[in-house]
Chain A
Amino acid sequence: MRTAVLLGFRLRQEVLEWSGAWWFLLTLVVQAVVAPLIGLFVWSAVYPGDPAIARYYVAIILVTLMTESFEQHTFSERIYNGTLSHELLRPQPVVVGVIGMNLAIRAWLTLLGAPIVLLTGIALQVGFDWWAVVRSTPYLVLAAVLVFLWTFLLSLTAFWTDRVHAVVGFGSQLVFLFGGTAAPIGLLPDGLRRVAEVLPFYGMNGLPAEIAAGTRSGGSLLYQLVWVVVLVGVVMVLWRAGIRRYTAVGS
C-alpha cells in the first residue's frame, strides 16, 4: 500500500515534470510509430485491400506507444553520472522512481500519439470490434510489464558496460523482428513463427494487437505471465549483482 502511494506521488511528479518537454515527447512519438507505419505500408502493398492488415498495424502503433520504455536513458544514465546514489539513499525502493517515470512517459506518448492513431485509422477506414479491444486489456497490461522488464533488464547492464545503448538497441531489434512489428507473426515462415511464439517478444506487441484487431480471439495469458516471472527473476539477480558492483565517488 505504501509503495502504491509512493508510486502515485512519483507518477504525478514525473507527469508534471515531463509536461514541459512536450516537443521532445512528440519526437519520441514519431520514433515509436515509424517502424509500425513502415510495416503497415509494406504489408498493405503485399495484401492490398485486406482490412485485417490495417487493423492489426493500427493496433500495433497504439500498443507500441502505450508500452514504450526508455530505461537506457532514464535509469542507466543515473548509473553513469552517479546520481543513482541519491536514489539509493531514499527510504523507498529505487524501482519506484524508475516505474514512475516509465508510466509518466507512456502516458504522455499515448496522449500525444492518439491523434496519429486516430488519423491513421480514419484514413484507412479501419473498424474495430470494441469487445475485442476490451478483451485485449489484460494482454496489453502484461505486454507493458514485459516491455518494461525487458528494457530495464538490458539497462541494468550499465553496471558492467558503458555501451548500454548498443545492448538495448540489440534488444529492440529482437522485439521488432519477433514481436510482430516487422511482420504479423502469422505471416512469418513456419520455423521462425514457432520460435517467435515461444520467445517473450510476441507477448510484448503482437499478441495484444492481434486480440484487439480481432485476428485472434484468445491467447495465453499464462505464456505472458510465465515470461513476467522469468524476467522478474533475472532482473532481481542482475540488480543484486549490479548494486554490489556499483561504486560512486563524491556524489
Chain B
Amino acid sequence: MSLRRSVAFRVNLVFDVVLAFTGLGTAIAAVLIVFTRADTLAGWSKAEFLVLIGTYQLITGLRTTFIDPNLSWFPETGIREGKLDGYLLQPAPSLFLSSLSLSSPLQLIQVVLGAGVLTWGIGIADRSPGAAGVVSWLVLVVAGTVVTWALSVLLACLAFWAPKLQLDVFYHSAWQLGRYPTDVFARPLRILLTYVFPMALIASVPSTALLRGPQLGVLLAGVLAAAGAAALAALAWRAGLRRYTGATS
C-alpha cells in the first residue's frame, strides 16, 4: 500500500532517488577530501571509514523507511491531530501501531546505497573480514536498529509530558554525528555519544567489529544496550499512555 502510494508520483520518486544519491555522495566526498591530506583519521583508514558510512547509511535507511513515517513530528501528528486516539481504539498494541504500522518503501534505496558503499569499503580494505566479524557486525546492526527505534519512541514519549516540545530537528541533527567514528570527537562528546545518546552503536561499533574482529564484551554490551533501550521505551510508552487524556478531551 505504502509502495503504491509512493510510485504514484513519478517526478517525486525521481527527486527522492536523486537526493538519496547526492546526499550519500556529499558525505563520501567530504571524507575523501580528508584522505587527500591524511592516510588515517583518528586511527581509521579510508576503507574503515567507507564501511562506517555504509553501515550508517544502512541503519539510517531502515530508520527513514520504517520508523520516521510513524514517529516523525509525533507531538503534532500523533497527539494534536489525534492519530494516536485512532490507534488506541484498535485491537493491536498501540506502541506497535504508532511506531511501525506505516512505511516509506522508497527510502529503502538508502539501504541499497549503504550496502554498496559497505561493499566498496570491504573491497579496498587491507584484510577481508572473517566469518566471526560478519556475524558480530550483523548482531550489532540489529542492536543498533533496535536502539534507533527505542530512541525514536522515547523522543515521541516526551510529547505526553511536554506536547509543545518539538525535538525532531535536534534528533536529526545529532544523528549526523553517527556518520563519523566517535574517536574523532573530543572526550566529553565521545562519552555522550557512547553512553547517553548511543550514536556509537549505530555505525562505529559495528564497523569496528567487522574489520578489526569481534570483541565479546562489546557484542554483549551492544545486545544489552538494545534490550535495555527497548524495555525503557516500552515502559516510557506505558507511563505516557497512563497520563494521556486524548486529543479531543
Contact = CB atoms under 8 A, between A and B. Distances in A.
Nearest to A43: B34
A163 B33 contact: no
Contact of B36 (A31, A35, A167, A189): A189
Given A34-B177, A176-B30, A182-B30, A163 B16 contact: yes
A163 B169 contact: no
Contacts of B29: 177, 182
B16 A27 contact: no
A31 B38 contact: no
Given A27-B167, A30-B170, A189-B33, A45 B12 contact: no
Contacts of A170: 18-19, 22
A166 B15 contact: yes
Contact of B23 (A28, A35, A173): A173
B202 to A, nearest CB: 15
Size bin of chain B's contact surface: 35 or more
Contacts, number: 85
A46 B37 contact: yes
Given A46-B34, A163-B12, A41 B22 contact: no
B11 A41 contact: no
A24 interface: yes
Contacts of A177: 26, 29-30
Interface string B1-41: 00000000001100110110011001001100110111001
Interface string A146-157: 000000000000
Contacts of A17: none
Interface stretch (B59-67, B109-117, B178-186, B211-219): B178-186
B180 A27 contact: no
Contact of A31 (B23, B33, B169): B169
B77 interface: no
B169 A34 contact: no
A23 interface: yes
Nearest to B30: A182
B166 interface: yes
Interface of A: 23-24, 27-28, 30-31, 34-35, 38, 41-43, 45-46, 161-163, 166-167, 169-170, 173, 176-177, 182-183, 187-189, 192
Closest 5 CB pairs of A and B: A182-B30, A163-B15, A27-B170, A27-B169, A31-B173
Interface of B: 11-12, 15-16, 18-19, 22-23, 26, 29-30, 33-34, 36-38, 41-42, 164-170, 172-174, 176-177, 179-180, 184-186, 189
